[in-house]
Chains A and B, each alone.
Chain A
Amino acid sequence: MLNQPLPRRRLLKLFASTGGVISALATTQLASCSFTNHEKDTKQTVYNTSFGLLLVMDEQRAKLLFSFAEACVSNSESAIHKAEVIQRIDEELYFVSTDISDDFLLALDVLEYLPLVYGCFSRFSQMPLLEREQWLVSMQQTRINTVSAVISACRMTVMLMFYGHESTMLVTGYDGTFSKMPQIMSSQRRKYKSLTKQVSLNTHEAGN
């Protein structure tokens, strides 16, 4: 059973004291990514993770995001793997500005430690699945804007990528695109796949 959220004043004090830890962690993580500010440079870091090669998230963040996705979509581990949620989010983060990707990575870092701030005795990714889901449900009523924004942003991104994948269509009863034509991979999608050494999908390769 999860603890109740702390009174607001105590919560903010704890958040401020852990904020240093979170900032230090985030800075360390970002420094290891070898990105320059604002525009990513040509020196590409590649993370060898249990989700395959990734370009933005390391193993720790990828696993954290996966644990979050499990609590969000109420689906089997294999369904989340099949929908390539972690890989697709990594791909999107690679192509947006560092401003946006840095914000998302920081949101993940904050998410990992938020349960501690709220009196839980575990980081988010270490909680059992049921507790993760219950804790997120309890956070739906938060009035702290930062917490709300962090959880909303992560949730919306996971939902987009999970339900945007063809493998989830049977779940929702979506009958697919109107034209039923094969996917046309953009040059960016092909670039990401070559950088992460993925096997090409059996899709139409023409166009850009």
Chain B
Amino acid sequence: MRQETKMKMDNKIYEEQDYENGALYKTQVCVIGTGCGGATVAKRLTDFGFDVILLEQGGYYPATKMDQNELNMAGKLFGARGLATGHDGGNVLMYGNNVGGASVHYWADSYRTPSEKIRSWEQEFGVKGHGVAALNPAFDAIEKSLNVHRAEDEFFNPMNEKVRGACATLGWHGHRVPQARKFCQKSGHCMQGCLYDAKQSQIVTHIPSALKQGARLFSDARAAQLIYSDTKELARKANGVSVEIMDRARNRPSGKKFKIAADVVVLAGGGFNSSFFLMQQGFKKDLPALGKYFSMNPSTMVHSLFEEEIIQWRNIPAAWGVDEYRLRRFNKNQYVEGGYLLMPNQLQPASLAATIPGFGSDHRTWMDDLSKVGGTIAWMDDVESELGEIRIKSNGAREVYYPYGELTKKVLKDGIKKQVILNFEAGAKKVLVAGLQGVSLNTIDEIQKLDDLNIEAGGLSMASPHPGGGCRMGEDPNLSVVNSDHQVHGWDNLFVSDSSVFPSSSSLDPSLTIMAFSYIAADRIKERLSV
């Protein structure tokens, strides 16, 4: 039997220079991905005493490597450096490519799974063991370890105050957004990574906990190939992973490789990556639902100009959430309104410039008054019957296929209308819909201009930071990829522990749901290892 390669140092996050070409590392559980799913399942498994190796294809960027510079940090933290879009070029895909995943650049909004989603997943999609009784203990533990609490008044920047005030006068229901922070310095640089380790991302919470309990984390290490065998029992058995060592300076594989031998493999690459990884292994024919039923909370934005200073890029992004229209409303099966969560928006200057429409002097007018620019965002709850798909193109690249169905277009348009109403009620003197068309309104009386809005690729500037599905959970192998134990159908010891298992959109920020699901996944993996 081949000898395991020993690392030269312990108790650190390993990087490209630490690996030997051709090495073999052994473990009980290999977790691919270090975001909310991977880090949490690893932490729980080390709580149970199991040996874990975490793999991360991106680099390791702790606070000492952060400089809050918008472009520099996008290059370090964002998948595809923030330049990847959906198939039609109209929707910017936001995900992590670093130790800690998207939690390093996220807003730290920490919502429990909405009850109607839990019910739907149980009753309509046949998901077992992920009901309120199973999730609540996980939520309690996670909220405690991440210091989740409702945003206090001192964390309301001017845009948040205006949105809260506008809700009061409009009679729209809102709430203080639950936050995962400790000693926040109100820098406004959540999306550039928290220099102060105040935001409770995975790199300051579950990852250190897992490492303290013996886990090893290999960064600059891309899982290239699943090593597996077919068994007499007809279930496939994962034996480990072949790993490419990344040359971080070139952002390409270095040509060097190593292998990991594991008793269990857990896929936690996130909603944009996990199903794609399985497709790259050639498993689409065995798993017909692979890549399908994909959601991503497409989010429209509206920018607004005020008389006074807003300085939206300081303090926390979203202290106030507007849930008045979170659920879609129908009248005699006809869509009326709703289906999104509204929030104040927070962008730094470069992203603001990119999403403020217009050319030349029209655009410059807004940029000259940037400190007075506020705005909002509407996180759309994807329509279950109009979900997208992750595909693999003929050149081997990933394609995020997300056409906007008829109901989706109506929801997106209504989300923009409500944002316009909200911004004018907040005191805006001018409102601009983010998108090439650049529809601009000077008063609420011009709202009928939105009837002509082009809800198509590039017509709107949208971002999608909450991918889900692609490895849908369910009991029917024709309609799902994993069972309720997070086990891939037809596999003995291959699990998925991230948002790709969601049967439909989580509606709200999915980070807490991902972590709670990972608690359950860890329990199932523990049972498997105990057999």
Interface residues of A (CB under 8 A from B): 37-40, 71-75, 88, 92, 95-97, 99-100, 103-104, 133, 136-137, 139-143, 145, 148-153, 155-157, 159-165, 168-169, 171-174, 177-179, 181-191, 204, 207-208
Partner of A148, one of B66, B84, B393, B459: B459
- State whether the Cβ of B133 lies closer than 8 Å to any Cβ in chain A: no
CA distance A188 to B77 in the complex (A): 12
- State whether the Cβ of B187 lies closer than 8 Å to any Cβ in chain A: yes
Which residues of A are found within 8 Å of B67, using beta-carbon distances? 177, 179, 181-184, 204
CA distance A180 to B252 in the complex (A): 32
Partner of B461, one of A96, A152, A190: A152
Partner of A207, one of B65, B85, B92: B65
Name 10 interchain pairs, CB-CB below 8 A, sorted by A. Answer: A139-B436, A143-B454, A145-B459, A148-B457, A152-B435, A155-B436, A168-B349, A178-B195, A188-B251, A207-B65
Which residues of A are found within 8 Å of B363, using beta-carbon distances? 72-74, 159
Which residues of B are found within 8 Å of A204, using beta-carbon distances? 67
- State whether the Cβ of B242 lies closer than 8 Å to any Cβ in chain A: no
Which residues of A are found within 8 Å of B314, using beta-carbon distances? 178
Chain B interfacial residues counted at CB < 8 A? 73
| Inter-chain contact A164/B360, CB cutoff 8 Å | no
Which residues of A are found within 8 Å of B189, using beta-carbon distances? 177-178
CA distance A179 to B72 in the complex (A): 15
Which residues of A are found within 8 Å of B362, using beta-carbon distances? 137
CA distance A140 to B459 in the complex (A): 8
| Inter-chain contact A145/B457, CB cutoff 8 Å | yes
Please give me the residue from chain B that is nearest to A145 by CB atom. B457
- State whether the Cβ of B313 lies closer than 8 Å to any Cβ in chain A: yes
Contacts A163-B349, A163-B367, A178-B314; A151 near B436 (Cβ below 8 A): yes
Per DSSP, chain A at the interface is helix
Q: Quote the shortest CB–CB distance from A137 to chain B (angstroms).
A: 6
- State whether the Cβ of B444 lies closer than 8 Å to any Cβ in chain A: no
Contacts A164-B350, A178-B188, A185-B72; A207 near B64 (Cβ below 8 A): yes
Which residues of B are found within 8 Å of A133, using beta-carbon distances? 359-360
| Inter-chain contact A71/B359, CB cutoff 8 Å | yes
CA distance A141 to B354 in the complex (A): 18
| Inter-chain contact A140/B436, CB cutoff 8 Å | yes
Q: A72-B360, A140-B358, A156-B355 are in contact. List 13 more A-B contacts (CB 8 A).
A: A97-B80, A99-B397, A137-B362, A143-B456, A145-B458, A148-B457, A161-B350, A164-B349, A178-B189, A179-B67, A184-B65, A188-B75, A189-B75
| Inter-chain contact B71/A164, CB cutoff 8 Å | yes
CA distance A143 to B435 in the complex (A): 13
Contacts A71-B360, A145-B458, A207-B64; A177 near B437 (Cβ below 8 A): no
Contacts A145-B458, A207-B64; A183 near B349 (Cβ below 8 A): no
Per DSSP, chain B at the interface is loop
- State whether the Cβ of B239 lies closer than 8 Å to any Cβ in chain A: no
- State whether the Cβ of B185 lies closer than 8 Å to any Cβ in chain A: yes
| Inter-chain contact B458/A174, CB cutoff 8 Å | no
| Inter-chain contact B352/A163, CB cutoff 8 Å | yes
CA distance A168 to B364 in the complex (A): 12
- State whether the Cβ of B484 lies closer than 8 Å to any Cβ in chain A: no
Which residues of B are found within 8 Å of A149, using beta-carbon distances? 88-90, 457-458
- Cβ contacts B309-320/A at 8 Å (1 or 0 each): 000011000000
| Inter-chain contact A96/B354, CB cutoff 8 Å | no
Partner of B248, one of A142, A162, A178, A188: A188
| Inter-chain contact B352/A95, CB cutoff 8 Å | no
CA distance A46 to B494 in the complex (A): 44
CA distance A74 to B353 in the complex (A): 13
- State whether the Cβ of B205 lies closer than 8 Å to any Cβ in chain A: no
CA distance A182 to B458 in the complex (A): 35
Considering the complex, which residues of chain B in the window 230-285 have a beta carbon less than 8 Å from any beta carbon of chain A?
A: 248-253
Q: Quote the shortest CB–CB distance from B399 to chain A (angstroms).
A: 9
Most-contacted residue by chain A among B364, B397, B458, B461 (CB, 10 A): B458
Q: Quote the shortest CB–CB distance from B19 to chain A (angstroms).
A: 16
Which residues of B are found within 8 Å of A207, using beta-carbon distances? 64-65
- State whether the Cβ of B204 lies closer than 8 Å to any Cβ in chain A: no
Please give me the residue from chain A that is nearest to B396 by CB atom. A38
| Inter-chain contact B361/A74, CB cutoff 8 Å | yes
Contacts A74-B360, A143-B456; A153 near B354 (Cβ below 8 A): no
CA distance A156 to B460 in the complex (A): 12
- State whether the Cβ of B69 lies closer than 8 Å to any Cβ in chain A: yes
| Inter-chain contact A156/B461, CB cutoff 8 Å | yes
- State whether the Cβ of B100 lies closer than 8 Å to any Cβ in chain A: no
